[in-house]
Structure 1
Amino acid sequence: MSTPFEKALAAVDAAHSLDPNLTTINGTPVPYELYYAQKCTSYLEKRAFNASEPLRLAIRAQHFRRWEVPRDSYPMTRVGYHAWRTFLKKRQASLAAAICIEAGMSAADAERVAALIRKEDLKADEETQVLEDVACLVFLDDQFAAFEREHDEDKIVGILRKTWGKMSEAGRELALGMEMEGRPRELIEKALGG
């Protein structure tokens, strides 16, 4: 018999499996959002292995059905980017909360999942900070190398500094322990040293 948490997690992963965007892992195509969610969970285990069920679900669902609202559906400006991110957080929180309720979780736990996805009380709420750390760690580990090839150095250094500023000391320690070579490592050292 599955618990409400297990049912909610399975429903989140089932939705992630519908992502038409694929990435190749060990020669096998995998829906990108499923891969991303699993990567987030692996960093959560390093950052807070004893995480609560609401935090574990929020980590898994923070990009819930994101492919349905592509970045280019908003103006390709800084303001457009922030509007897109704000909309996504609210949408993803609402969809995840509905899944929690459907799975039999309490309304309080469902709302907690939603609040975490919306990143409420960042810096003041330890669990919200853990979620932010995990998002930053996955960016650095999985997305940064491709990102740095698409943007000029000043922009990248600025983004790295902002990313670093969002992280807790525990998150930063994990980031510094990542294996990173070549240009990405140089840029990180420049961002942190300058």
Structure 2
Amino acid sequence: MATEQFQTAIKLFDKANSQDPNREQWKGKEYPKEVLYGERMTAMLEGFESDTSEEVQLAARCQHICRWEIPRNSYEMNRTGYLKWRTELKKFHAEKAGEILDSIGYKKDIVEKVAFLLQKKQLKKNRDTQIIEDVICLVFLQFYFDPFIEKHSEEKMIDIVQKTWRKMSEKGHDAALQLSYSNKALSLVKKALGL
């Protein structure tokens, strides 16, 4: 049973994300982009791993909190710039989430654990970090893969799938193979994995 404090945190995360100037249409409704992303993360987490800690559930919901405040194009448009952007974002999300959790009286150890998860620390070694990473990858493959296909070459997309696969656990792989893909996406996944 979710506590009142947890429900307040989710509302505050969504309120912060509702300021996103970027919009996305989904099932006939318009959403601030990061509100929709947060909802997708929560739903995917529940389907993938229903028995998780409060910290994991919080980290899933605020994974992209206020992401638009640090746009990708504020860094060099190359691999180095991309990696620097991602590193800065992890710290930024951890700080933003921490401020919200602090403001409603969450204990320090919970705030620190959420920050740890948002910064993807101990990937492949820490179970909770791995759950978050698997869910991120599943949400990407389910909802954001097809728009990527329109923008990138087949070679680039195969590379993206292979890199995504390397970050996932065996359970994540199994779940990814159960997702419903467009014909084009499925063809790329199969090529990338040699299926």
Regarding TM over 0.5, the answer is yes
- Aligned residue for 2:15, secondary structure, equals helix
Paired residues, what number?
193
- SS of equivalent residue, structure 1 residue 29: strand
**Alpha-carbon distance in structure 2 between the residues aligned to 1:73 and 1:97:** 24
TM-score (norm 2): 0.96
The aligned runs of 1:1-194 (5 Å cut-off) are 3-193=4-194
**Amino acid corresponding to residue 156 of structure 2 in structure 1:** K
> Aligned AA for 2:29?
T
Q: Unpaired runs of 5+ in structure 2?
A: none
Q: Find the aligned partners of 2:60 and 2:29 in 1 and give their Cα distance.
A: 24
Q: Percent of counterpart pairs with the same letter?
A: 42
| C-alpha displacement of 1:165 | 0.8
How far residue 70 of structure 1 moved from its aligned partner, in angstroms, is 0.8
Q: What are the ranges of 5 or more consecutive residues in structure 1 without an aligned counterpart?
A: none
CA RMSD of aligned residues (A): 1.1
Distance 1:49 1:101 in 2: 26
Alpha-carbon deviation of 1:98?
1.5
> Does the CA contact (< 8 Å) of 1:157 and 1:191 recur in 2?
yes
Secondary structure, in 3 states, of the residue corresponding to 1:23?
A: strand
Partner amino acid, structure 2, of 1:51: T
The structural deviation recorded for 1:161 is: 0.5
- Partner Cα separation in structure 2 for residue 80 and residue 64 of structure 1: 20
In 1, the alpha carbon distance for the partners of 2:165 and 2:94 equals: 25
Are the aligned partners of 2:146 and 2:182 in contact in 1 as well (CA < 8 Å)? no
Quote the offset at 1:187 in angstroms: 0.4
Asked if the contact 1:5–1:105 (Cα under 8 Å) also holds between the matched residues in 2, the reply is no
Cα shift readout 1:1-43 (whole Å, capped 9, x = no counterpart): x632222111101111111111112222111100000001111
Alpha-carbon distance between aligned partners in 2 of 1:25 and 1:128, rounded to the nearest angstrom: 28
